[in-house]
């Protein structure tokens, strides 16, 4: 019984860590500097399609978080800047892309 409780607590802590603890080294980028950084990095728009079509970034690769696992190969192998709508999207995508070998330089919230 104690082993089961320890396992459940470990799973809950793992999920909370992945979603809510900020990723080290991923910093916020202001909108005016975002365009300058986009020459050296790929902008990946993580917002849902129904949200991102209203405020479109022309140079961003629109890849919602729900599709990231299936289509991360479409991202060119260089530095990445994330465009997200909240901290949870940013944290999950940053950890996932770093695990796949991408260099996540920063993020911008819309």
Which helix (H) or strand (E) is 107 found in, with range? strand 103-109
Chain CA centroid to CA 109, Å: 11
- The CATH T-level fold of domain 2-109 is Oxidized Rhodanese; domain 1 (3.40.250)
pLDDT for 110 equals: 84
pLDDT for 35 equals: 75
- Predicted confidence (pLDDT) per residue in 80-90, tens digit: 999 999 999 99
Which helix (H) or strand (E) is 109 found in, with range? strand 103-109
* Separation of first and last alpha carbons in the chain: 46
- Predicted confidence (pLDDT) per residue in 6-35, tens digit: 999 999 999 999 999 999 999 999 988 887
């Amino acid at each position: 019984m104690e082993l089961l409780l320890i396992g459940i607590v470990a799973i809950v802590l793992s999920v909370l860590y992945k979603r809510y603890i900020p990723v080290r080294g991923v910093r916020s980028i202001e909108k005016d500097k975002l365009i300058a950084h986009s020459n050296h990095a790929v902008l990946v728009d993580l917002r849902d399609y129904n949200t991102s079509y209203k405020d479109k970034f022309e140079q961003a690769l629109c890849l919602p978080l729900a599709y990231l696992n299936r289509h991360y190969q479409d991202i060119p192998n260089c530095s990445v800047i994330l465009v997200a709508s909240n901290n949870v999207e940013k944290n999950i995508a940053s950890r996932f892309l770093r695990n796949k070998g991408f260099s996540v330089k920063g993020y911008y919230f819309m």
